Structure 1
Amino acid sequence: MAAQCATEVDDNPLWNFALQFYASKDVQELLLTLQDDYQQDTLLLLTALWLANEGQSWQLTSEQLDDYHQWRANVIWSLRAARKAIAKDNTSPEQLTLRQQIQKDEIRAEQIALHQLYSLHSESKHKANHAQLAYKNLMIQAELAEATLIKADIKKEALGPLFQQLADLLVSQ
């Protein structure tokens, strides 16, 4: 099943993990805080956590993520901006319907992005403590995105406690 899932956008282990893990209100709030206040990429954070859950280390380089970053900037962020441009309140039923459709498209674009990330990782597994590995993976992906941190004037040390909370949530589920 895992080998088959690797080629299917609609059903791969990373997507399934993301859906299940993100279903927790605590996880949603923490990931949105990291995204909105610390300019962290939610999909990369979910990938780092999934890898830790699978006993794997982060293996991707920033060069390997180029296509993913292009997809995120051109498609996901464009859809997100379009969705946010339509207010939730005081809109016509037609506008609300359009907003809901854009949100569905945004989620589909994120699903495609997670498939890209899943496809990039090899099948080799390195067993380790899941909480420690989750924290390590989160910090590695933050280092890869260090230009974003510098631009936003965010100290990498500020992310540590939030990443530890995510790692603890991963282990507690």
Structure 2
Amino acid sequence: MSEIQSADNSLWHFALAFYSRPGIAPLCLRLQSEQGLAVNRVIFCLWLARQQQGVVAELFSDKALQHWHYERLLPLRALRYSVREERQQDHRLDAAYEQLKKAELACEKTELQMLYDLATANDLCPALSLPVDDLARANLEVYLQTVQGQWSGLLQTLLDLYTETGI
């Protein structure tokens, strides 16, 4: 991804700002580990609401996006988790673990760029005139349908924090 794309990607900037807010990162990681939700897709749904855009479920089934997520990002994350466990017994793995974290972040950034490109290049994210918090919930519910997920207290807490942050 070029620096121009990164600089123009308001989704990336939103993700960095939102994820760094107190309480957001641990909550997102719980959504990932306990409910199997993709944090980037959750953040994408929230960002779209700030743009006054909805989302169509078909966006999440984009072949390139699916391939990147399931064939690149998730295996890298699994490797990082494995090395994280091993390095507790062998500190020679510390540098490798740190490099894996950087590589995973680069993959996350690429996935956010793919989501951004999908949102700005087609009609899968229509403009809607709803209050931001209602639109955020509607977007999250569309995403949940694509993964057969259920609304939860964790998601409600995230939505509440999102509404409070005003990012």
Classify the secondary structure of the residue corresponding to 2:120: coil
Answer whether contact 1:15 1:114 (CA < 8 A) is retained: yes
Q: Aligned runs of 1:1-173 on 2, under 5 Å?
A: 8-9=5-6, 11-61=8-58, 64-86=61-83, 87=85, 88-93=87-92, 95-122=93-120, 125-146=127-148, 149=149, 156=150, 159-173=151-165
Give, in angstroms, the shift of residue 24 of structure 1.
2.0
* Root-mean-square deviation over aligned CA pairs: 2.1
* Structure 2 unaligned regions, length at least 5: none
Closer/same/farther in 2, CA of residues 72 and 90 from structure 1, 3 Å limit: same
Closer/same/farther in 2, CA of residues 27 and 170 from structure 1, 3 Å limit: same
Give, in angstroms, the shift of residue 63 of structure 1.
6.6
CA–CA distance in structure 2, aligned partners of residues 111 and 125 of structure 1: 24
Q: Going by fraction, where is helix more abundant, 1 or 2?
A: 2
CA–CA distance in structure 2, aligned partners of residues 65 and 122 of structure 1: 14
CA–CA distance in structure 1, aligned partners of residues 152 and 62 of structure 2: 23
Closer/same/farther in 2, CA of residues 133 and 11 from structure 1, 3 Å limit: same
The TM-score normalised by the length of structure 1 is 0.81
Answer whether contact 1:83 1:103 (CA < 8 A) is retained: yes
Give, in angstroms, the shift of residue 89 of structure 1.
2.5
- Give identity over the alignment, percent: 25
Give, in angstroms, the shift of residue 9 of structure 1.
3.8
CA–CA distance in structure 1, aligned partners of residues 159 and 142 of structure 2: 14
Closer/same/farther in 2, CA of residues 168 and 63 from structure 1, 3 Å limit: closer
Answer whether contact 1:10 1:111 (CA < 8 A) is retained: no
What is the total number of aligned residue pairs between the two structures?
157
Any idea what the Cα deviations from partners look like across 1:38-90, whole Å, max 9, x if unmatched? 11111110100111122111135157422111101111111111111113523
The TM-score normalised by the length of structure 2 is 0.84
CA–CA distance in structure 1, aligned partners of residues 67 and 13 of structure 2: 23
